[in-house]
Amino acid sequence: MSREAYLALDAESEVRNEYLGGHVVAMAGASPRHNLVTANLTKLLGVALDDGPCRVLDAGQRVRIEASGAYVYPDVTVVCADPELTEERPRSLLNPQVVIEVLSESTRGRDETAKMAHYRRLPSIQEILLVESESRRVTLVRRAGDEWRLRDVIHGEVEVPSLGVRLALDDVYAKTDGLPSGG
């Protein structure tokens, strides 16, 4: 599908659609556990960054990756510089600093491979967090010059250096026990 056809589709669609490598991927509904982990992350970052210049955006914010032509909807996006936005509707953010993907069975493969490759081409991104929804594990992927470093956290807290924030896993996964996962 062409970029123009995608933009027309996404502008009129009631569901979010991502555009990766010329292909459109409709974003399916998520499990209650996935949704709560996403909400917890949005709330924790919002509170931690409230007094500074950073803005925490939810899953409704589309991100454009100009180097690859992709349009994606991260689960959580943080922008600390003045937001740069495209003109098309809905407007896409061009300069996120941190993106977070909450992984589920149905999105894991795409989030860990295709979307990760696109995110790494965006110069403004300093960290990418891959957050498991079905178990307690956060993978921090951090830019270090021309390299990317990966750190898995399964206990305690995960530090997001570019934001100066530490997220306790107990808070990330608060109230998720007993909620259905999968999807």
Span 13-34, average pLDDT: 87
Asked if residues 104 and 36 have their Cβ atoms less than 8 Å apart, the reply is no
- pLDDT of 183 higher than 60: no
For the chain, which domains are there? 29-172 (3.90.1570.10)
pLDDT (tens digit per residue) in 74-132:
999 999 999 999 999 889 999 999 999 999 887 787 888 889 999 999 999 999 999 99
d(CA 183, CA 108): 10
Confidence band, pLDDT 50/70/90 cuts, at residue 24? very high
Number of other residues whose CB lies within 10 A of the CB of residue 146:
5
Asked if residues 101 and 75 have their Cβ atoms less than 8 Å apart, the reply is yes
The encoded tokens of residue 170 equal 């107990």
Map tokens 């709560």 to a residue: 36
Average pLDDT over the chain reads 93
Residue 91: half-sphere exposure toward Cβ, Cα within 13 Å:
8
Model-wide pTM > 0.75: yes
Asked if residues 104 and 182 have their Cβ atoms less than 8 Å apart, the reply is yes
3-class secondary structure, 68: coil
Strands (E), 17-135: 17-20, 23-26, 55-57, 62-65, 70-72, 76-79, 92-93, 98-103, 127-132
Span 13-33, average pLDDT: 87
Percent of the chain with pLDDT strictly greater than 90: 79
d(CA 102, CA 9): 25
- Longest Cα–Cα distance of the chain, Å, equals 45
- pLDDT of 15 higher than 90: no
